[in-house]
């Protein structure tokens, strides 16, 4: 190969090094140019077993294995040392990956869950979410923050900051929300509303469940070990921590209460939420109320 600028010839090794390309690619391209109908096959010695045969052996080994969730190394080891087949471990990995036979695909599949993947509602006061979080203070130790969040517009409709995370305190944000939205905490005041919560001991308690029944609220539990099914409350608590808790040192429970109250007011009035066309929670509720009154 000659340089178009200097006219001097340069060797293939030097040119490929300057290009950062292997020489094999150059020679393969030259063969294809000279013989376009010829396609180079797999390099190296031919294996005694084709890929289809090896894949059949892999499937047979997995079916006979008494264990679940084994990776390609165990399969290769049995094929190599038990059956005496000269097969590369990387080849076994490639074939198992292509056939979706690696361990993540071989775990036991449970029954299909009823959740349809949507936790947002199309109207307010259909479902609220509630959850608790803990913050450490210098003088008072761990402090609990309980919140109630509207699934429709992500509005925080109630909150409570306390020292003890009891079932009684877990009900406080719900009572605040009922007062703010329904104007009452009387029997049946929130009939038709569902409350999404996790399986915390506060929410599973008899007192908590009986109080929900008194208000006419239907409990809706998140799936175990799947916090995304309570994602509205979980996401709000994360935002609360990022915006008002992290990076600060609180001395007492009262300081936490003041910080949380100030943030929630600011959040409801100014936080832009994508799922409601980047309105704030307060703007979305005001617009809904105006349409209902019209």
Predicted confidence (pLDDT) per residue in 95-136, tens digit: 999 998 887 655 555 565 555 567 889 999 999 999 999 999
Same domain, 38 and 56: no
Same domain, 134 and 64: no
Same domain, 276 and 133: yes
C-alpha to C-alpha distance for 181 and 175, rounded to whole angstroms: 10
Q: What would the mean pLDDT of 187-191 be, rounded to a whole number?
A: 95
Q: Is the pLDDT at 249 greater than 90, yes or no?
A: yes
pLDDT of residue 224: 81
If one counts the domains in the chain, the total is 3
In a domain, 138, yes or no: yes
Q: Is the pLDDT at 42 greater than 80, yes or no?
A: no
In a domain, 115, yes or no: no
Q: What would the mean pLDDT of 25-30 be, rounded to a whole number?
A: 83
Q: What would the mean pLDDT of 148-173 be, rounded to a whole number?
A: 97
Same domain, 264 and 152: yes
pLDDT of residue 69: 73
pLDDT of residue 12: 86
Same domain, 277 and 177: yes
Same domain, 60 and 139: no
Same domain, 137 and 264: yes
Question: What range defines the domain where residue 15 resides?
Answer: 1-42
C-alpha to C-alpha distance for 18 and 23, rounded to whole angstroms: 11
In a domain, 114, yes or no: no
Strand partners, 197: 221
Q: Cβ atoms within 10 A of the Cβ of 193, count?
A: 22
Q: What would the mean pLDDT of 55-80 be, rounded to a whole number?
A: 88
**pTM for the complete prediction?**
0.63
In a domain, 121, yes or no: no
pLDDT of residue 8: 79
Q: Cβ atoms within 10 A of the Cβ of 211, count?
A: 18
Q: What would the mean pLDDT of 44-72 be, rounded to a whole number?
A: 85
In a domain, 117, yes or no: no
Q: Which helix (H) or strand (E) holds 16?
A: helix 12-19
pLDDT band at 43 (very low <50, low <70, confident <90, very high): low
Same domain, 37 and 80: no
Q: What would the mean pLDDT of 160-187 be, rounded to a whole number?
A: 96
Same domain, 82 and 193: no
pLDDT of residue 202: 96
pLDDT of residue 28: 81
pLDDT of residue 117: 67
Same domain, 18 and 101: no
Same domain, 209 and 287: yes
Same domain, 143 and 176: yes
| CATH number, domain containing residue 155 | 3.30.420.10
pLDDT of residue 272: 92
pLDDT band at 66 (very low <50, low <70, confident <90, very high): confident
pLDDT of residue 286: 96
User: Which residues have CB under 8 Å from 108's CB, separation 6+?
Assistant: 68
Where does residue 102 rank: exposed (0-12), middle (13-18), buried (19+ CB within 10 A)? middle
In a domain, 122, yes or no: no
Q: What would the mean pLDDT of 9-34 be, rounded to a whole number?
A: 84
Q: How many distinct helices (H) and strands (E) make up the chain?
A: 11, 5
pLDDT of residue 227: 74
In a domain, 265, yes or no: yes
Q: Among the listed ranges 28-32, 46-50, 110-114, 210-214, which one has the minimum average pLDDT value?
A: 110-114
φ, ψ for residue 36 (rounded to 5)?
-65, -20
In a domain, 230, yes or no: yes
């Amino acid at each position: 190969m000659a340089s178009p600028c200097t006219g001097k010839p340069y060797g293939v090794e030097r040119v490929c090094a300057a290009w950062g390309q292997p020489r094999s690619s150059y020679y393969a391209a030259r063969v294809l140019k000279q013989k376009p109908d010829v396609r180079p096959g797999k390099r190296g010695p031919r294996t005694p077993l084709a890929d289809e045969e090896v894949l059949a052996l892999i499937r047979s080994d997995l079916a006979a294995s008494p264990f679940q969730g084994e990776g390609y190394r165990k399969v290769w080891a049995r094929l190599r040392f038990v059956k005496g087949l000269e097969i590369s471990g990387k080849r076994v990995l490639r074939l198992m990956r292509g056939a979706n036979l690696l361990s993540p695909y071989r775990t036991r599949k449970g029954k299909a869950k009823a959740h349809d993947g949507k936790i947002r509602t199309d109207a307010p006061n259909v479902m609220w979410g509630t959850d608790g979080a803990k913050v450490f203070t210098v003088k008072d130790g761990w402090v609990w923050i309980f919140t109630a969040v509207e699934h429709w517009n992500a509005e925080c409709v109630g909150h409570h900051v306390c020292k003890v995370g009891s079932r009684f305190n877990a009900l406080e944000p719900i009572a605040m929300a009922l007062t703010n939205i329904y104007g009452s905490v009387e029997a049946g005041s929130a009939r038709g509303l569902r409350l999404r919560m996790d399986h915390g001991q506060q929410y599973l308690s008899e007192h908590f469940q009986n109080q929900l029944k008194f208000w006419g609220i239907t409990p809706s539990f998140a799936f175990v070990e799947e916090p995304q099914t309570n994602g509205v409350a979980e996401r709000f608590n994360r935002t609360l921590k990022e915006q008002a808790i992290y990076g600060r040192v609180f001395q007492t429970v009262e300081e936490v209460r003041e910080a949380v109250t100030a943030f929630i007011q600011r959040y409801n009035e100014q936080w832009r939420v994508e799922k409601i066309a980047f309105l704030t929670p307060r703007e979305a509720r005001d617009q809904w109320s105006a349409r209902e009154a019209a």
